[in-house]
Structure 1
Amino acid sequence: MSRPSPFRVGFVTGATPDKWARAWRERRREPLDLVPLLESEQEHGVRDGDLDMALVRLPVDRDNLHCIGLYAEVPVVIAGAEHFVAVADTVALADLADEQLVRPHASGWRPDAEQLDWPPMSEKDAIETVAAGTGIVIVPMSIARLHQRKDIVQRPVTDLDPTQIALIWLLDRDAEDTQAFVGVVRGRSANSSR
C-alpha cells in the first residue's frame, strides 16, 4: 500500500502552525509538510499549486482565494538597547518622526526625517542593523520575539493597526483534506462536521 501524498501548508516567518500540525497528525493518515515562506512570496506556492494552503500575513490579493483571518499581531518598534524608546512602555508614531527607518513598514508609514536609500533586507538583517546602532525597524511582535537579542529593545507602537495572519487556499481547491485543515485551525473536534 502506497503512502498518501503529503498535505503541504506554507507559513510566513512568525506564524505559528505547530499546534495545528499536531492536531492534524493526530487525526489524519496523510503526512503534513510545513513549508517556510518569505512574505514577499507568500501567495505564489498556493497559486502555482505547490502548496495546498498557506498561513500568510495580510494583505494578499484575494482574487481566486479563500481567506480566513486567524489572529492579529501587535506591531513593535525595535531599536538599539541604548535608544530612547528603551525607557518607554509603548511608543507612538509621532515619537519616531525623526528616526531612520532601515526597512519599510507594511503600512507605508515613514518618519518625517529624510531617509537613506536602504537596500532591501530581511527582518533578521534589519534587526542586526538596528542592533549595530543604526535606525529603527517596525515589525510584528512575533518577528521581534523570533529575533530577540540582548542589544535591542522592542516596544508596542500604539497607533499602528495590528497585522493579521490568515489562512489562504485556492477557490477550486476545496477538497475534503482542505476542509479538514480548516476544521483544525478553527478548533473543531475530530468528530465534528463543518
Structure 2
Amino acid sequence: MAFRVGFVTGATPDKWAGVWRERYPREPLDLVPVTEAEQEAVLRSGEVDMALVRLPVDRDGLLCIPLYDEVPVVVAGLEHLVAAADDVRLDDLVDEQLVRPHVSGWRPTADQLAWPPMTEREAVETVAAGTGIVILPMSVARLHHRKDVVHRPVVDLPVTTVALAWRADHDDERSQRFVGVVRGRTPRSSR
C-alpha cells in the first residue's frame, strides 16, 4: 500500500518525495493535494498518512514538526495603490474590500460585502478584476500569480508556518523514515 502524504496549496513536497523514492524505491509514495479547510480532516480520517499542513491545527492526537515560515502578502489588481509600495501595513488596507477571510481574523474597518466562499485561485481572479484585495501566504500568491495582479508583503501580520503532521497513533517506522527525509537525515544517521 502506498504511503500517502498530503500537502496544502503552496507547499512543495517534491524535494522530499524525490529523496524518498531514491531511498525506498519499493515503497510507493503518493502526493495528495489538500485544501487548508480539509487538511486536518483528511489526516485524522486516515485518507493520508502524513500531511504538510499550514498551522494552526488542533494538535490533540497529532504529532507536528514546524518546517518553515511564510510571509503573508496582499494581492491586488495591477492598478491598485499597493502596486506603488514595496510593502504595506494593515493600516494601509483598512478601507479595502477583503474578498476572502484571512486566517488571522483581521478585517478591514470598511463595510464588507458578503462574498461567497472562494478558493485562493478564485480570490486572485476576483482581485484581478479590480474588486478588493486578498491576503495569502507568499507561496500561494506566487502559485496563482497573474500578469494583472501584484503582491506585496504585509509587514505587521504574523508569518504562517508550514508543518509536517501525522497522527500520534500512527507514529510507525515509515512515518519516522519520512521525518528523517524531511529533516535531512542520511540513511545511516539515527534519530
> TM-score normalised by the shorter chain: which range applies?
over 0.9
Counterpart position of 2:74: 77
Of residues 21, 26, 40, the one that matches 2:17 is 21
How does 1:105-184 map onto structure 2 within 5 Å? 105-184=102-181
Of residues 171, 185, 190, the one that matches 2:187 is 190
| Letter of the 1:128 counterpart | E
Counterpart position of 2:61: 64
CA distance in 1, matches of 2:42, 2:110: 38
CA distance in 1, matches of 2:85, 2:73: 12
| Letter of the 1:21 counterpart | A
Q: Does 1:104 align with 2:74?
A: no
- The alignment of Structure 1 onto Structure 2 pairs a total of residues equal to 190
Aligned-residue offset at 1:49 = 1.4
CA distance in 2, matches of 1:138, 1:162: 12
Q: Deviations over 1:160-180 (max 9, x none)?
A: 001010111111111111000
Of residues 7, 11, 32, the one that matches 2:7 is 11
Aligned-residue offset at 1:88 = 0.4
| Letter of the 1:144 counterpart | A
| Letter of the 1:193 counterpart | S
CA distance in 1, matches of 2:114, 2:92: 22
> What secondary structure, in the 3-state scheme, does the structure 1 residue paired with 2:117 have?
coil
Q: Percent identity?
A: 71
Counterpart position of 2:49: 52
Structure 2 residue runs without a partner (length 5+):
none
> What secondary structure, in the 3-state scheme, does the structure 1 residue paired with 2:37 have?
helix
| Letter of the 2:162 counterpart | I
CA distance in 1, matches of 2:43, 2:106: 29
**Given the two structures, how large is their TM-score scaled by the length of structure 1?**
0.97
Q: Deviations over 1:19-44 (max 9, x none)?
A: 00001001012010000001100011
CA distance in 2, matches of 1:50, 1:153: 36
| Letter of the 1:12 counterpart | V
Counterpart position of 1:41: 38
Q: Deviations over 1:78-129 (max 9, x none)?
A: 0000000001000000000101100000000001101001111000000000
Structure 1 residue runs of 4 or more that deviate by more than 3 Å after TM superposition: none
CA distance in 2, matches of 1:135, 1:50: 36
